[in-house]
Amino acid sequence: MNPDQTSDGSMWDRRFAEDHYAYGTEANVWLQSIVENLAPEPNPEALFPADGEGRNAVWAATEGWKATVFDLSAEGERKCHLLAEEHGVTVNYEVDDLVLRTFPDRHYALIACSWFHTPPAVRRKHMPRMLHALAPGGHFVMEGYHKTQLNFSSGGPKSLELLFDLDEVVGELTGPGAPPMSVAYAAVEHTVLDESDLHRGEAAVVRIHLVRSDA
């Protein structure tokens, strides 16, 4: 498969065009549990790749982060701005594709994403490339569905190749395409999700927390 294949956001636009928030309005619980224990410099900047309707970025903005989202969906952008307004914060949202996006070098104190699944060839090339946007000492936090999620009905892609194998993904994110990264936490976990009707019930997930380790 072409690692530079762009994606069509129309399915996400249809989903996010509804009045309700497809994955709820609260931040992803695991992401939140890691981020609230970080002690970044004043005015920290964070990037939320594929944040959909912006629930993670809006929460982070309420915690004092300067938050930027990129995502395929213009409807996601609209919903994110509504949610941000409700919370009295602002989020910078750019409709963009991981494959096409140019990242600033050594910039963000945090990059955090939930349920960001791409075709494997895209993931292998562009997720490590994205990590170069982390400042030294910066954190990468991600939750996604594990390959055994096919046994459950609590959300996620129905295609095995889009789901995560922990060793494979950690290998990519700490491999030659990425800056030096140390593993703070990486595990497959069985959990119970309660995010929305789409993400509710027993689930098999991967949870990864890496720290950029060069000076």
Ligand X SMILES: C[S@@+](CC[C@H](N)C(=O)[O-])C[C@H]1O[C@@H](n2cnc3c(N)ncnc32)[C@H](O)[C@@H]1O
* Strands of the 66-71 sheet, one edge to the other: 92-95, 66-71, 45-49, 108-114, 134-145, 199-212, 181-196
Residue nearest to ligand X (CB): 52
Asked if 55 touches ligand X (CB under 6 A), the answer is yes
* Residue 178 CA neighbour count, 13 Å, CB half: 25
- In this chain, which of 35, 61, 84, 98 binds ligand X, going by CB under 6 A? 98
Q: How many Å from the N-terminal Cα to the C-terminal Cα in the chain?
A: 35
Nearer of residues 72 and 203 to ligand X, judged by Cβ: 72
52 contacts 23 by C-beta, under 8 angstroms: yes
* Binds ligand X (CB under 6 A): choice among 71, 75, 77, 172: 71
Q: What are phi and psi of 15, to 5 degrees?
A: -65, -45
Quick one: which of 25, 68, 114, 154 contacts ligand X (CB under 6 A)? 114
Name residues contacting ligand X, limited to 115-154 (CB under 6 A): 115-116, 118
Pairing of strands 134-145, 199-212: antiparallel
Least Å distance, CB 7 to ligand X, is 4
Q: Segment near ligand X (CB under 6 A), from 46-54, 82-90, 127-135, 204-212?
A: 46-54
Binding-site ranges for ligand X (CB under 6 A): 7, 9, 12, 23, 28, 50-52, 55, 70-73, 76, 97-99, 113-116, 118
